[in-house]
Amino acid sequence: MMPPTVIYIMGVAGSGKTTIGQQLSAATGIPFFDGDNFHTVSNKEKMKAGQPLNDEDRKDWLLRLHQLAKDEVQKNGAIIACSALKQHYRELLSAGLDRRVHWVLLQGDYALISERMRKRKDHFMPVDLLQSQFDVLEVPENALVIDIGLSPDAIVKLISEKLLLK
């Protein structure tokens, strides 16, 4: 087992970050935190209104998640679901954590993800904003990239094996 680490489960809205994060947490005992819960009310309202967040909107949210990661890596580590769409967001989220951060990108095509989003109930992120997330996504060079066409169980198993979590 590796020392306490932070595993960011990243990807566009609807890619399964929360589902995979929760299941990975259950399988490993590493605490899970959903980044959506750290958005401000104003950010959620802006998205509900169909307006994509800009870098300024995301700044405080990213800083809160970074502080969470710094706090949790001193304990048992953390699994954090966070879109982390741009490289400079990921640099902020991992600052000062050295090699104790792992990135897992849940990747799928627009048709599959938009269909999943249409089936969700009571989520603040409308499907109309999905294209804006695809447009700004900068695929990281240092991430474990996983096809979301796999079952959640297969994805969790793959993450656990690749990151030596078991």
Compute how many other C-beta atoms are within 10 angstroms of the C-beta atom of residue 135.
Answer: 10
* Three-class secondary structure of residue 83 per DSSP: coil
Q: Is residue 26 part of a domain?
A: yes
Domain interval for residue 151: 6-162
Q: Is residue 156 part of a domain?
A: yes
Q: Is residue 23 part of a domain?
A: yes
Structural domain total, the chain: 1
Task: Output the domain CATH number for residue 79.
Answer: 3.40.50.300
pLDDT (tens, 9 = 90+) of the chain, 166 residues, equals 567 899 999 999 889 999 999 999 999 999 999 998 998 889 888 888 888 888 899 899 999 999 999 999 999 999 999 999 999 999 999 999 978 899 999 999 988 888 877 776 665 566 777 888 889 899 998 899 999 999 999 999 999 999 877 5
Whole-number pLDDT of residue 99: 80
Q: Is residue 145 part of a domain?
A: yes
Whole-number pLDDT of residue 47: 80
Whole-number pLDDT of residue 97: 92
Whether 105 contacts 139, CB under 8 Å:
yes
Whether 155 contacts 146, CB under 8 Å:
yes
> What is the length of the chain?
166
Q: Is residue 153 part of a domain?
A: yes
Q: Is residue 13 part of a domain?
A: yes
Q: Is residue 28 part of a domain?
A: yes
Q: Is residue 1 part of a domain?
A: no
